[in-house]
Structure formats: structure tokens, C-alpha cells
């Protein structure tokens, strides 16, 4: 009986310790100053290969499939980046050319109104589109407005980051939901995950609201 219990602990440790070690290696290399965030990606790639070898899943076929998917995702991100940059630059030039009139001055008559509108738009879009598209298309539109209003840009960036973090939990396209579904037992339905994530969404939104209303609590000037 004691042997079986030890075997269970060993299996749990074997499943948990390697992924945690990979996370510690990636984040630790960044926080310790050993590697930049870009270089830490290489640390993560090497660590993933080591884990694949430990789990006896490393093969040329897996490397080929992984490399192909990496190239596809990289090409997709760069295509989005090019299009988003052209789009956001056009919007910014139009806004700068019509700074005296148009819709932006009406929307940004008050700083709090702009914050609520921008956060509401990002929150709603997070239900349906990826955080990459929001970061590259929507954020560059809001950036010059926030800058012209004298808003604390560090505070504004953290608001956006927390809002985007919420999008990882919101159905139907929350990344965390799909990841959890992939590792959860087959008896767990997608609807069960949707229901279970509601309290965490409420907590996330509550903290976001408190950060908007009371930025001084978090060491920011706000407006």
C-alpha cells in the first residue's frame, strides 16, 4: 500500500516538476538578467526539447510538425503586424490632421469617459478576437488620445494588460478555456468550464474597476 502511494507521488511529481522547471528557467533567465525576453524564448525552446526527450516523444516527425506550425504562426503574426501598423498609422495621421474636430474630441471630452469607453471596447472585443489583434490594431488608436489627455501611460498600459488578461477567460474564444479543456478529463464538458470560470472573471473585472476608480491605491496618478 505504501509502495503504491509512493508511486502515485512519483507520477504526480513527474507530471508537474518538469513543466514548472521550464517556466522557472524561462522567467528566471529574464528576471535574473541572464537573458532578454527574446533570448528567453530560445531557453524555452531548448527546455521544451529536453522535456519532449524526457517524455520519450522527441522524433524527427515531431520536430518537422512543430517547425512547420511555428513558421505558420510567425508568418501570421507578421502579416497581422504589417497590416495593423499600416491601419493604425493611417488612423493616427487622420486623427492628428483633424485634432480640432471629429469624433475623438467628443469622445475624450473627459478623461474618465475615454477610459471607460476604451476599456469597454477592449473588453467586448476580447470575447471574439485574439489579444494580438487588439494589441496591434486597437491599442495604437487609443494611445495618441490617452497621451493628449495627459493620462498616466503606465497606468493606462496596465489597464489594457489586465483587460486583455480577462479576454483569456471569456468565452467563446478564451485561450485558457481551450487549454483547460485539453488537459481536463473527458467527463468535463466545455459548458462546465464556462460556468466555472465566471467567479474568476468577476474577480478580474472587479480589480480592473478598482484600478480605474482608485489608481492611487496602486501607486499611479491616473489622470
Work out the average pLDDT over 154-163: 90
129 and 153 part of one domain: yes
Q: Are 221 and 215 in contact (CB under 8 A)?
A: yes
Mind listing the pLDDT tens digit for each residue in 180-217?
Answer: 776 677 777 878 888 888 888 889 889 989 988 888 88
Instruction: Let me know whether 92 and 44 are in one domain.
Output: no
Q: Work out how many domains the chain is built from and give that number.
A: 2
- Any domain includes 108: yes
Q: How far apart (Å, rounded) are the C-alpha atoms in residues 141 and 29?
A: 33
pLDDT of residue 101: 44
* Residue environment code for 133-159, b if the CB has 16+ CB neighbours within 10 A, otherwise e: ebbbbbbbbbbbbbeeeebeeebbebb
The span from the CA of 163 to the CA of 172, in Å, is 16
Mean pLDDT (the chain, rounded): 79
Per-residue pLDDT of 15-70, as tens digits, reads: 778 888 888 888 888 888 888 888 888 888 888 888 888 878 888 888 888 888 88
Angle (deg, nearest 10), helices 198-213 and 111-125: 160
Label residue 174 exposed, middle or buried (CB < 10 Å: 0-12, 13-18, 19+).
buried
Full-model pTM = 0.61
178 and 133 both lie in a single domain:
yes
Both 113 and 200 in one domain: the answer is: yes
The answer to whether residue 223 sits within a structural domain is: no
Question: What is residue 183's predicted lDDT score, i.e. its pLDDT?
Answer: 66
Query: CA geometry: angle at 211 spanning 171 and 84, to 5°?
Result: 55
Q: Are residues 116 and 23 in the same domain?
A: no
Our CA angle for 127, 172, 118, nearest 5°, is 5
pLDDT of residue 98: 52
Residue 22 lies in a domain: yes
Query: Range of 114's domain?
Result: 71-218
CA angle 107, 108, 110 (to 5 degrees): 115
Instruction: Decide which of 138 and 101 is more confident.
Output: 138
Give the separation between CA 214 and CA 208, rounded to whole angstroms: 10
For residues 84 and 131, state if they share a domain: yes
Task: Centre a 10 Å sphere on the Cβ of residue 90 and count the other Cβ atoms it contains.
Answer: 10
Q: What's the pLDDT tens digit per position in 114-130?
A: 888 889 888 888 887 77
Q: Is residue 66 in a domain?
A: no
Put residue 162 in one of left, alpha, beta given phi > 0 → left and psi -120 to 50 → alpha. Answer: alpha
Question: Are residues 141 and 171 located together in one domain of the fold?
Answer: yes
Amino acid at each position: 500500500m505504501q509502495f503504491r502511494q509512493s508511486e502515485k507521488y512519483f507520477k504526480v511529481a513527474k507530471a508537474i516538476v518538469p513543466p514548472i522547471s521550464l517556466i522557472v528557467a524561462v522567467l528566471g533567465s529574464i528576471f535574473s538578467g541572464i537573458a532578454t525576453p527574446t533570448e528567453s524564448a530560445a531557453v524555452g525552446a531548448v527546455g521544451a526539447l529536453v522535456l519532449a526527450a524526457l517524455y520519450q516523444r522527441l522524433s524527427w516527425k515531431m520536430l518537422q510538425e512543430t517547425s512547420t506550425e511555428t513558421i505558420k504562426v510567425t508568418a501570421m503574426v507578421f502579416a497581422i503586424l504589417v497590416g495593423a501598423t499600416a491601419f493604425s498609422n493611417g488612423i493616427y495621421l487622420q486623427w492628428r490632421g483633424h485634432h480640432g474636430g471629429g469624433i475623438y474630441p467628443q469622445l475624450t471630452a473627459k478623461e474618465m469617459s475615454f477610459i471607460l469607453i476604451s476599456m469597454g471596447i477592449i473588453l467586448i472585443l476580447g470575447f471574439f478576437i485574439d489579444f494580438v489583434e487588439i494589441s496591434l490594431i486597437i491599442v495604437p488608436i487609443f494611445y495618441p488620445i490617452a497621451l493628449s489627455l495627459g493620462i498616466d501611460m503606465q497606468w493606462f498600459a496596465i489597464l489594457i494588460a489586465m483587460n486583455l488578461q480577462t479576454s483569456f477567460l471569456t468565452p467563446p474564444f478564451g485561450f485558457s478555456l481551450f487549454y483547460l479543456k485539453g488537459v481536463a478529463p473527458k467527463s468535463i464538458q466545455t459548458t462546465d468550464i464556462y460556468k466555472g470560470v465566471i467567479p474568476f472573471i468577476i474577480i478580474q473585472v472587479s480589480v480592473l474597476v478598482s484600478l480605474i476608480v482608485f489608481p492611487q491605491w496602486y501607486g499611479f496618478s491616473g489622470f
